[in-house]
Structure 1
Amino acid sequence: MAEIVIRNVRKEFGSFTAVQSSSFKVEDGEFFMLLGPSGCGKTTTLRMIAGLELPTSGEILIGGEDVARKPASQRDIAFVFQMFALYPHLNVRKNIAYPLVSQGMSRAEVRRKVEEAARILGIEDILDRPVGGLSGGDRQRVALGRAIVRDPACFLMDEPLGALDAEFRERMAEELRALHDRMGATTIYVTHDQLEAMQMGDKIVVMNHGVIEQFGAPQDIYDKPATLFVAEFIGSPPMNFLRFHGALPPGATQATLHHVPLGLPALREAFEGDMVYGIRPEHVRLSDAAPYRGEVLATEYLGTTQVVTLATANGEVKARIPADQPARVGESVGLDFDGRTTTVFDARSGRALRSALNEGVLHG
């Protein structure tokens, strides 16, 4: 397996820039997620790593070697596509064996590698079946098997679970992560599903309009969003945003919204202007004693919890609270925010203001 380094990689299609000077590092053996909405540049980035697209500029290093100008055939990678790309006229065994046969490997070695991959994936019992009658999950396992037998430096996966239904996708995500852990493989995985990225990834790059918005561990990205886009894209429901105008001095631990002081982590630098006070729904509590008020608009029962939507003077707020806590539509309630978990953003740039919570995040 190998470390993968992306340095100032840019991709232009005529006058359109799909990826803008991206840089990040995938550690050896890491399960790395490229996350973002459709058209954000994540698949283009993956295709450049694979050699299916050549970058306009920048470096792509796999195992310390710059492969940016090398064709896909000269990069030690295996690509798993969303639509499986199996050969319908071949059975499972021959589909998995195909890349080894193409390399001229001996028949005995091909058989050994195919049976080892089938054992890892738990598909020994279907090796001699045609692929046409397989379930979506089994076809995906066959596609993974064809990648595994090559024993590549890294695996590249482009939304490999996207064609599966929701329940089976969740089970396959668990299997895929477990497979990665057993093999110790370096894996880069593209997805638009933030829950999938949070569940599976060691590190996540969040992309939007060809730009890397944030790069880090799932928990850091969730707790310390660098931009308004990340705060809204990650989380279900997403972070609440309350807009206000004011001036915050260095070390400020409160922001005043609608004449009510609300807590926040101490700011490292002063800021004045339009701001956004952000807080996750699970960090909003309903309390009669709280001075900041909201009117209950709706409730959504989720089993052990409920999501309550409230109207406030600074915008709509969602609170995730225990299912048995009373919340009646139309009533006025107090909202208590855990200031240690909030993030304040510059409304103009969308960047988080630097604080004790997110020391590495600068406002721009």
Structure 2
Amino acid sequence: MAEIVIRNLRKEFGEFTAVQSSSFKVEDGEFFMLLGPSGCGKTTTLRMIAGLELPTSGEIYIGGEEVGQRPASERDIAFVFQMFALYPHMNVRRNISYPLVSQGMPRAQVREKVAEVAKILGIEEILDRPVGGLSGGDRQRVALGRAIVREPKCFLMDEPLGALDAEFREHMSEELRKLHDRMGATTVYVTHDQLEAMQMGDKIVVMNHGVIEQFGTPQDIYDKPASLFVADFIGSPSMNFLRFHGSLEAGATEAVLSHQPLGIPALREPFDGDMVYGVRPEHVRLSDSAGYRGEIVAAEYLGTTQIVTLATPNGEVKARIASDQPARVGETVGLAFNGATATLFDNQTGRAIRSDLNEGVLSHG
């Protein structure tokens, strides 16, 4: 297996720029997620790593070798597609063994490797069955088997679970992560599902309009969003945004919204202008003693918790609270925020304003 290094990668299709000067590093053995909405450039980035698209500019290193202009056949990678791409006229065994047979590997060695992969994936009993009659989950396992059997430097996966139903998709995502851990493989995985990315990934690149918005661990991206886009895209429900205008000095630990001071991590530099106070729903409490007020407009019961939606002078707020806590629609209540976890954003640029929370990770401007 091998690390993957991307430097200033750019892809243009005529006048349209699909990927803009992207740079990141995938460590050897890492499960790495490319996350973003449709059209953000994540699949184009993956296809350039694979050699299915050649970059307009920039460099791609796999295992220390620059491969940006090499064809896919010279990159020693395995690509797993969303639609499986199996050979319908072959049974499971022949589908898995095809890459080895095409390389001229001896039959005995092919049989041994196919048996080994089938055991890893738990598909020994279906090796001689035609792929046409298999379930979606089994077909995806066969597609994975065909990729694994080659023992490539890295695996590239383009929404491989996207065609499965929700319940089985969750099960397969757990199985895929376990498989990755057993093999110690370097894997780059494209998805638009932020829950899938947070559950499976060691590191995540969040993309939007061809630009990398943020790169880091799932915890860093959730706790320390670098932009309004990331804060809104990650989390269910997403982060609350309260808009206000103010002037804050370096070292400030409070922001005043509707004449009420709310806690913030200490700012590293002064800021004056339109800002957004961002706080996650689980960091909002209903408190009779709090001066900042909101009217409850909805309550959604979720079993052990409930999501309460409130109208405030600075925008809508969602709070995740215990299901047995009283929350009556139409009632006006106090709201207390965990200021240590809040993030301030520049409303004009959408970027996080530097503070103790994100020092060394984010910058504003």
Q: When the two structures are superposed, what TM-score results if normalisation uses the length of structure 1?
A: 1.00
* Structure 2 residue aligned with 1:247: 247
Matches within 5 A, 1:221-240: 221-240=221-240
After superposition, what is the alpha-carbon deviation per residue over 1:208-253, rounded to whole angstroms, capped at 9, x for unaligned?
0000000000000000000000000000000000000000100000
* Structure 1 residue aligned with 2:219: 219
Amino acid at match of 1:362: S
Cα displacement (A) at 1:135: 0.6
Cα displacement (A) at 1:80: 0.1
* Structure 2 residue aligned with 1:145: 145
Matches within 5 A, 1:179-194: 179-194=179-194
Amino acid at match of 1:107: R
Matches within 5 A, 1:129-168: 129-168=129-168
Cα displacement (A) at 1:326: 0.4
| Cα distance in 2 for residues equivalent to 1:361 and 1:113 | 46
The 3-state SS of whatever aligns with 2:353 is coil
Amino acid at match of 2:149: V
| Cα distance in 2 for residues equivalent to 1:115 and 1:361 | 48
Cα displacement (A) at 1:62: 0.1
The 3-state SS of whatever aligns with 1:129 is coil
* Structure 1 residue aligned with 2:303: 303
Cα displacement (A) at 1:157: 0.1
Asked if residue 279 in structure 1 is aligned to residue 279 in structure 2, the reply is yes
* Structure 1 residue aligned with 2:351: 351
Amino acid at match of 1:203: K
| Cα distance in 1 for residues equivalent to 2:248 and 2:116 | 61
| Cα distance in 1 for residues equivalent to 2:155 and 2:363 | 33
| Cα distance in 2 for residues equivalent to 1:138 and 1:324 | 42
* Structure 2 residue aligned with 1:342: 342
After superposition, what is the alpha-carbon deviation per residue over 1:10-54, rounded to whole angstroms, capped at 9, x for unaligned?
000000000000000000000000000000000000000000000
Asked if residue 79 in structure 1 is aligned to residue 79 in structure 2, the reply is yes
The 3-state SS of whatever aligns with 1:336 is strand
| Cα distance in 1 for residues equivalent to 2:299 and 2:136 | 37
After superposition, what is the alpha-carbon deviation per residue over 1:101-147, rounded to whole angstroms, capped at 9, x for unaligned?
11111111110111110000000000000101111000000000000
| Cα distance in 1 for residues equivalent to 2:318 and 2:124 | 49
The 3-state SS of whatever aligns with 2:172 is helix
| Cα distance in 1 for residues equivalent to 2:179 and 2:327 | 44
Amino acid at match of 1:228: L
Cα displacement (A) at 1:339: 0.3
Cα displacement (A) at 1:334: 0.3
Cα displacement (A) at 1:85: 0.3
- Which one is further off, 47-56 or 96-105? 96-105
List alignment gaps of at least 5 residues for structure 1: none
The 3-state SS of whatever aligns with 1:139 is helix
| Cα distance in 2 for residues equivalent to 1:24 and 1:317 | 34
* Structure 2 residue aligned with 1:60: 60
| Cα distance in 1 for residues equivalent to 2:363 and 2:89 | 56
Cα displacement (A) at 1:357: 0.4
Q: When the two structures are superposed, what TM-score results if normalisation uses the length of structure 2?
A: 1.00
* Structure 2 residue aligned with 1:319: 319
Cα displacement (A) at 1:173: 0.2
| Cα distance in 1 for residues equivalent to 2:350 and 2:79 | 35
* Structure 2 residue aligned with 1:197: 197
* Structure 1 residue aligned with 2:257: 257
| Cα distance in 1 for residues equivalent to 2:13 and 2:224 | 33
After superposition, what is the alpha-carbon deviation per residue over 1:59-92, rounded to whole angstroms, capped at 9, x for unaligned?
0000000000000000010000000000111000
Amino acid at match of 1:160: P
Identity over aligned residues, as a percent? 83
| Cα distance in 2 for residues equivalent to 1:227 and 1:261 | 23
* Structure 1 residue aligned with 2:268: 268
| Cα distance in 2 for residues equivalent to 1:167 and 1:287 | 37
Amino acid at match of 2:92: V
| Cα distance in 2 for residues equivalent to 1:361 and 1:151 | 38
| Cα distance in 2 for residues equivalent to 1:248 and 1:86 | 59
| Cα distance in 1 for residues equivalent to 2:56 and 2:109 | 40
* Structure 2 residue aligned with 1:169: 169
Count of aligned positions: 364
Matches within 5 A, 1:119-134: 119-134=119-134
Amino acid at match of 2:300: E
* Structure 2 residue aligned with 1:361: 362
* Structure 1 residue aligned with 2:293: 293
